[in-house]
A and B are shown apart, each in its own frame.
Chain A
């Protein structure tokens, strides 16, 4: 079965520093991976996805993610964190005939001024 794991419940980073939110995946076949962000009292918003091609994927709000097949990872990164990036981040993988998104448990990112 397809699954993703987000090993950190929370990540703390100072404003202006680079940030990384980790995600590892377990799939049979090709992995189709997504990152979503959830701000308080809001629905999830799409950030970026990996389908095929370049291992470095660029997305919204300056975020990018690096796909690493050998390490089965898809870590979310940003070179310089903003306080406004503080939110809940979800990694997800397509499953079920590629129509179902399976989400990780989420990682809370806290960016401190």
Chain B
């Protein structure tokens, strides 16, 4: 298995532009998580899905952020419009159902820089 795949790996954009981050979870995994990592705030959970349905989006910072999971093998995190404070590394993770104790598998991350 290729693991969790994220694209792009790096994104540089200007303030006000729309940014779309993509994630392909491990096949067969029922849960998908989006995290943001910054020096100031560490690792934060933004939103998670179960069977393609958003379960908890309480970590999404503002209405500028939205996430979708149209099918079991694809999810997007969109920021519109982007701001410099959105600069961070965004991780996608997935895990099997069958118990919350199952470990999460993380993708390599997308490093977003908003100028």
Contact = CB atoms under 8 A, between A and B. Distances in A.
B101 A100 contact: no
Interface stretch (B42-50, B66-74, B76-84): B42-50
A44 B4 CA distance: 11
B45 A100 contact: yes
Interface residues of B, number: 21
B109 A98 contact: no
Contacts of A10: none
Interface string A74-113: 0000000000000000100010111111111110000000
Given A100-B56, A105-B42, A46 B103 contact: yes
Interface in B61-106: 91, 93, 100-101, 103-106
A27 to B, nearest CB: 14
A43 B4 contact: yes
B42 A99 contact: no
Contacts of A41: 108-109
Interface of B: 4, 31, 33, 42-43, 45, 48, 50, 55-56, 91, 93, 100-101, 103-109
Given A32-B100, A44-B104, A99-B56, 10 more contacts: A36-B106, A43-B4, A43-B93, A43-B107, A43-B108, A44-B106, A46-B103, A46-B104, A90-B43, A106-B43
